[in-house]
Amino acid sequence: MIPLVDLTAQYHSIKKEMDAAVLSTLESGHFILGPQVTKFEESVAAYLGVKHAIGLASGTDALVIALRALNIGDGDEVIIPAYTFFATAGSVMSVGAQPVVVDIDPQSYQMDANKIEAAVTPKTKAIIPVHLYGHPSDMNPILEIARKHDLKIIEDNAQGYGAEYLGRKTGAMGDVGCLSFFPTKNLGAYGDGGMAVTNDDALAGQMRMLRAHGWKKKYYSEMVGYNSRLDALQAAILQAKFPHVDAWNEKRRELSKRYNEHLAPLGITTPVEREWAKHVYHLYIIRHEKRNALQAFLKEKGIASEVYYPIPPHLADPCRKFGYKEGDFPHAEKAARETLALPLYPELTLAQQDEVIAAVKEFVSK
C-alpha cells in the first residue's frame, strides 16, 4: 500500500531529534505555553519576517481569533474563495459575519483577484486569501483592493508554510497570517496546533489575550476569550522539525516536477506554478473528468488518494442560508468534481512514485 502521506517515515528520518524533544519537554515540567512555545514562536516569526507569532490550538482557531481581534462580527462581510477547506467559511460564520464567496482561477485554484472588487459592499470588512495546496494567492492586486476599500487581509496560510510570492513568504503580507500545524502539513505537529502572525503590536496583544480567556493578567478576564494555546509538547516537536522544513519543501517540489513530467503527456491536468510563485506542494493535485473512477482504480492497485474538497463551501449545508446555489461559482464546482490528490511526502521513494505513475498511465490507456 502506498499511503497519501507517511508520517511514520518522517518520524524515523529524524527519530533521535524527535525523541529528545519529547523527553526534554516531559522533564521540563512546562506543558502549557512556557519556554518551548516562546522559542518556537520566535523561530516562526524570524522565518516569516514578522514581529509577532502567537501559538494557538489550531489553524481554525487562528482564523477565528484573527477575526475577533480585528473586531469583525455580526453584520459584517468577509470575502473568501469558493474553493477551500470549510474552516475558512466556518470561522467567518462563527464570529457572526457572512462569508461572501468569489470564484477561483481554474488553473492555480486561488481566489480570482479580478473578481474580488465586484464582491465588495459597504458591509465588507476583510478578505481571506487562501494559499491553497501550497500555491500562493496573487497578493499584490488583493492588497491593492484592500487599501482602496480600507479592508483587512487575513491570510489563510494553513497549507502554504514556506511558499513565496515574489520572494516574500506567504502569511507575512496581510494584517494577520494564520498557520496550521495539523500533522499532515508541511510543518506538522503530532496533534492539533496553529499560529497567528502579525506585524501589528496591538493586534498581537489582542490575540494573546483571546487565546487565554481574555487575560492580560492571569484570572483577570478583560474580554470573552478562548482556551486556545499551543501546548509545549507540540511546540517542542515543531521546533525539532523546523530546521528541516525547507529541505522537505524542496523534496516536495522535486517529486511534483517529476510527477508533472510523467503525467502531463498522458493528458492529465497537472498543477501550475505561476511565474511569481514558489509552490510548496502541500498536496499534489491532478484533475481528470473521470476522477471517481480513477480514484477507485488506484485503490484497487493499493494506492491511496484523496478528494480535496468534494463540496465547495457555498454548497455546504451551513452556507445555504445565504442563498448560494449550484452553478454560482462554476470553476470551484468543476474543481470539486475533478481534482484528486496523489501520494506526496518528502520520504516518498522514486520506486513508489513510479508505481503511482504507472497506475495512472494504465487507467488513462484503458
Q: Judge whether 339 lies within some domain.
A: yes
DSSP code, position 50 = -
Residue 2 inside a domain? The answer is no
Read off the C-alpha cell for 44: 516562526
Q: Give CA separation, 196 vs 48, 155, 289, in Å.
A: 12, 10, 38
pTM of the model: 0.97
**CA dist., res. 68 & res. 61, Å (int):** 10
Of 183, 184, 201, nearest to 192 (Cα)?
A: 183
Note whether 171 and 261 are same-domain residues: no
Q: How far apart are CA 217 and CA 280, in angstroms?
A: 40
Task: Indicate whether 174 pLDDT > 90.
Answer: yes
Q: What is the mean pLDDT of the chain?
A: 97
Would you say residue 71 lies in a domain? yes
1 in a structural domain: no
**pLDDT score of 366 more than 90:** no
Instruction: Give pLDDT, residue 189.
Output: 98
- Would you say 106 and 272 are in contact if contact means Cβ atoms under 8 Å apart? no
Domain membership of residue 306 as a residue range:
244-364
CATH classification at residue 150: 3.40.640.10
What would the mean pLDDT of 135-155 be, rounded to a whole number? 98
84, 165: one domain: yes
- The verdict on 221 and 258 lying in the same domain is no
Residue 141 and residue 223 in one domain: yes
Q: Which residues contact 44 (CB under 8 A, 6 or more apart)?
A: 53, 179, 195, 197, 242
Q: Are residues 128 and 41 in the same domain?
A: yes
Neighbours of 197 (CB within 10 A): 29
Domain boundary among 225, 243, 261: 243
Look at residue 122 in the predicted model and tell me its pLDDT. Answer: 98
Domain termination residue (choose one: 243, 278, 302): 243
185 and 44, same structural domain? yes
pLDDT tens sequence across 132-144: 999 999 999 999 9
Structural domain contains residue 360: yes
Percent of the chain whose predicted confidence (pLDDT) is above 90? 98
Residues 211 and 74 in one domain: yes
**pLDDT tens per residue across span 90-102:** 999 999 999 999 9
Q: What is the mean pLDDT of residues 351-360?
A: 98
Tell me how crowded residue 29 is: count the other CB atoms within 10 A of its CB.
Answer: 8
Domain shared by 251 and 232, yes or no: no
- Whether residues 173 and 101 share a domain: the answer is yes
Q: Establish if 81 belongs to a structural domain.
A: yes
SS3 for 75-112 is CCEEEEECCCCCHHHHHHHHCCCEEEEECECCCCCCEC
220 and 283 fall within a common domain:
no
Strands 220-221 and 168-169: unpaired
Place of cell 490507456: 365
Residue 350 placed within a domain: yes
Residues 122 and 207 placed together within one structural domain of the fold: yes
* 275 and 175 in a common domain: no
Nearest 5°: the CA angle 202, 208, 213 is: 125
Among candidate residues 243, 267, 287, the one where a domain is terminated: 243
pLDDT in tens, 39-90: 999 999 999 999 999 999 999 999 999 999 999 999 999 999 999 999 999 9
Q: How far apart are the C-alpha atoms of 61 and 317, rounded to whole Å?
A: 21
CATH for 340:
3.90.1150.10
Tell whether the model's pLDDT for residue 276 goes beyond 90: yes
Count how many domains the chain has. 2
